[in-house]
């Protein structure tokens, strides 16, 4: 028998026993082979449960901030408002059936509009004297809090299922996506701070660039919470469209453009869209990129409508995007993004000069949330 | 214990952000920077410039990481 590594002196009566040294050396190995997976499962469970705890804190913060904002910090009103807000957090939206996709965009739009109307009506009932900015902040806060609530509940569901069935694989899957989930939840928590103080979001760069050009002209409402104005730029007739600030709106640029082109008979030679876009990790915040197509996020209704109008009338769509992370896009605007505003305008002017000629009509759309950005 | 990084250390440190309001004069383009106060919004008119009586307007509101020296 060989003493492993010669660790134990052979003159010791116990440790010198070859069986004992074999047990000491190979015991843990056997333990790891037999129970290794369980130890790993236990570690994963620990890790996931810590993340679930973090999500719970975030969710509670979201709810607390919403309640505090609505009550204006007075404790007397908490009992009255908290149950109503809890009810908001559980609101759900059932998406239309898409087995027969023809016409599904119209249905989605209808459902989203109904949801929006209902939310706004409820908020008006809750705080009848709120000005538009405050009402939009409440709406945004509730939206963020209910997203956090939803994330927490779904993650908790899989965590409990994994625990109940002692399935390491459910837990491992949860652990794998957890960093992404936490990132999203972090972004929402950051958004709450910006919402509360009505500070411009990273996503507000589109309304900021376009809003600056609209300052001296008359603004007309062309769709819900969406305004447009007309001005002159480099000898072109320019129509500027964006969400109505400084309240936190995204407006309806799809309906706005549709109405301008088809009802107000503005036949543009080009549409330029300016929006924030998600950067890939490693790309610089505030980087500007140009492209072709309808630069607008969301559920897809606005993009669909803009593409429809553009293709029906043969209008080229140009896009300028300002890159930022998901966290930056819904938290207070970063310095790099704010400073990209001037450069974005230069890019826009260059596109106007290169792609259109004097006397042309152009629609320029500032896409994004107009919180804290007036025009 | 788990989620140990394979390469390098994860970025756990979040920089502390402060929000600033930037005002700019329409005539002399003098920029002033001060802390954000509630009620500020981009494109808000802020009265007259101290040096040339031009119109002041908020042109930017942004968050910047505070440098720890
Ligand atoms: Zn001045």
A329-356 mean pLDDT:
94
Cβ contact, residue pair B61, A46, below 8 Å: no
Question: What's the Cα-to-Cα distance from A106 to each of A176, A201, A261, A282, rounded to whole Å?
Answer: 37, 29, 19, 38
A241-259 mean pLDDT:
94
Distance CA(A250)–CA(A369), nearest Å, equals: 5
A270 three-class SS = strand
Give the pLDDT of residue A4.
Answer: 54
A54-61 mean pLDDT:
95
Distance CA(A15)–CA(B44), nearest Å, equals: 83
- In terms of pLDDT, which residue wins out, B48 or A287? A287
Q: Is the ipTM of this complex over 0.90?
A: no
**Helices A104-126, A78-89: crossing angle, 10 deg rounding:** 170
Distance to chain A for B23, nearest Cα, Å: 13
Residue A39 has pLDDT above 90, yes or no: no
Distance CA(A159)–CA(B60), nearest Å, equals: 44
- In terms of pLDDT, which residue wins out, A76 or A199? A199
**Gyration radius from chain A CA atoms:** 28
Q: What percent of chain A has pLDDT over 70?
A: 97
**Which helix (H) or strand (E) segment is A124 a member of?**
helix A104-126
Q: Quote the longest CA-to-CA distance of chain A.
A: 104
Give the residue carrying structure tokens 């990273």.
A202
- Please, which pLDDT band fits residue A81 given cuts at 50, 70 and 90? confident
Kindly report whether the global pTM for this prediction surpasses the value 0.90.
no
All structural domains of chain A: 40-196 (no CATH), 202-366 (3.40.50)
A343-367 mean pLDDT:
95
Which residues neighbour B21 within 8 Å (Cβ) at sequence distance 6 or greater? B33, B34, B35, B36, B37, B40, B58, B60, B61
A35-40 mean pLDDT:
86
Cβ contact, residue pair B43, A373, below 8 Å: yes
All structural domains of chain B: 17-65 (3.30.1330.30)
What the block records as the tokens of A285 is 């915040």
- In terms of pLDDT, which residue wins out, A126 or A354? A354
- Please, which pLDDT band fits residue A322 given cuts at 50, 70 and 90? very high
A210-231 mean pLDDT:
94
pLDDT-wise least confident of A2-6, A181-185, A247-251: A2-6
Is the peptide bond between A246 and the residue preceding it cis, with omega within 30 degrees of 0? yes
Chain B residue nearest residue A212, CA to CA: B43
Q: How many Cβ atoms sit within 10 Å of the Cβ of residue B23?
A: 19
Q: How many Cβ atoms sit within 10 Å of the Cβ of residue A206?
A: 31
DSSP 8-state secondary structure symbol assigned to residue A253: H
Q: Which of A43, A245, A338 sits opposite B2 (nearest CB)?
A: A43
Give the pLDDT of residue B11.
Answer: 56
Chain A partners within 8 Å of B63 (Cβ)? 199, 331-335
B6-33 mean pLDDT:
79
Distance CA(B63)–CA(B16), nearest Å, equals: 9
Residue B69 has pLDDT above 80, yes or no: no
Distance to chain A for B1, nearest Cα, Å: 7
What integer best gives the mean pLDDT of chain A? 91
Distance CA(A158)–CA(A179), nearest Å, equals: 15
Cβ atoms A320, A272 nearer than 8 A:
yes
Q: Which of A47, A204, A334 sits opposite B2 (nearest CB)?
A: A47
Residue A180 has pLDDT above 60, yes or no: yes
A350-364 mean pLDDT:
94
Q: How far is the CA of B50 from the centre of ligand 1 (A)?
A: 7
Ion ligand 1: residues, CB within 5 A, are: B 25, 28, 30, 49, 52, 54
Residue A85 has pLDDT above 60, yes or no: yes
Give the pLDDT of residue A111.
Answer: 94
pLDDT in tens, A117-169: 999 998 898 888 888 899 999 999 999 999 999 999 999 999 999 999 888 88
Cβ contact, residue pair A332, B62, below 8 Å: yes
- Please, which pLDDT band fits residue B1 given cuts at 50, 70 and 90? very low
Give the pLDDT of residue B2.
Answer: 45
A59 three-class SS = helix
Cβ atoms A168, A176 nearer than 8 A:
no
Q: Which of B17, B38, B44 sits opposite A197 (nearest CB)?
A: B38
Give the pLDDT of residue A21.
Answer: 80
Chain B partners within 8 Å of A245 (Cβ)? 41-43
What the block records as the tokens of B2 is 């788990």
């Amino acid at each position: 028998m060989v003493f492993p590594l010669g660790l134990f002196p052979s003159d010791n009566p116990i440790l010198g026993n070859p069986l004992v040294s074999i047990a000491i050396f190979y015991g843990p190995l056997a333990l790891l082979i037999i129970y290794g997976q369980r130890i790993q499962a236990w570690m994963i469970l620990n890790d996931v449960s810590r993340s679930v705890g973090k999500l719970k804190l975030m969710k509670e913060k979201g709810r607390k901030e919403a309640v505090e904002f609505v009550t204006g910090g007075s404790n007397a009103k908490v009992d009255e408002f908290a149950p109503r807000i809890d009810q908001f957090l559980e609101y759900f939206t059932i998406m239309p059936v898409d087995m027969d996709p023809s016409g599904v965009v119209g249905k989605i739009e209808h459902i989203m509009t109904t949801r929006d109307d209902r939310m706004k009506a409820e908020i008006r009932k809750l705080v009848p004297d709120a000005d538009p900015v405050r009402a939009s902040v409440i709406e945004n806060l509730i939206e963020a809090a209910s997203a956090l609530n939803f994330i927490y509940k779904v993650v908790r569901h899989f965590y409990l299922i994994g625990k109940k069935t002692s399935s390491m694989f459910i837990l491992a899957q949860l652990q794998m996506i957890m960093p992404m989930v936490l990132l999203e939840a972090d972004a929402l928590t950051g958004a709450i701070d910006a919402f509360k103080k009505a500070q411009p979001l990273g996503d507000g760069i589109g309304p900021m660039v376009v809003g600056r050009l609209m300052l001296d002209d008359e603004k007309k409402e062309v769709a819900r919470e969406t305004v447009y104005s007309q001005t002159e730029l480099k000898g072109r007739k320019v129509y500027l469209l964006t969400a109505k600030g400084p309240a936190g709106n995204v407006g309806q640029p799809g309906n706005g453009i549709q109405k301008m082109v088809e009802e107000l008979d503005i036949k543009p030679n080009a549409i330029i869209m300016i929006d924030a876009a998600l950067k890939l990790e490693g790309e610089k915040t505030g980087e500007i990129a140009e492209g072709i197509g309808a630069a607008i996020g969301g559920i897809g209704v606005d993009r669909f409508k803009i593409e429809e109008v553009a293709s029906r009338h043969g209008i080229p769509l140009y896009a300028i995007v300002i890159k930022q992370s998901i966290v930056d896009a819904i938290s207070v605007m970063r310095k790099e993004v704010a400073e990209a505003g001037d450069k974005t305008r230069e890019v826009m002017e260059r596109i106007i000069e290169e792609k259109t000629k004097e006397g042309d009509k152009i629609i320029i759309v500032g896409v994004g949330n107009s919180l804290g950005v007036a025009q | 214990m788990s989620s140990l990084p394979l390469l390098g250390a994860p970025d756990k440190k979040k920089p502390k952000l402060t929000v600033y309001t930037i005002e700019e004069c329409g005539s002399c383009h003098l920029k002033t920077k001060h802390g954000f106060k509630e009620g500020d919004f981009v494109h808000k008119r802020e009265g007259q410039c101290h040096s040339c009586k031009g119109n002041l307007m908020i042109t930017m509101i942004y968050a910047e990481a505070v440098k720890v020296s």
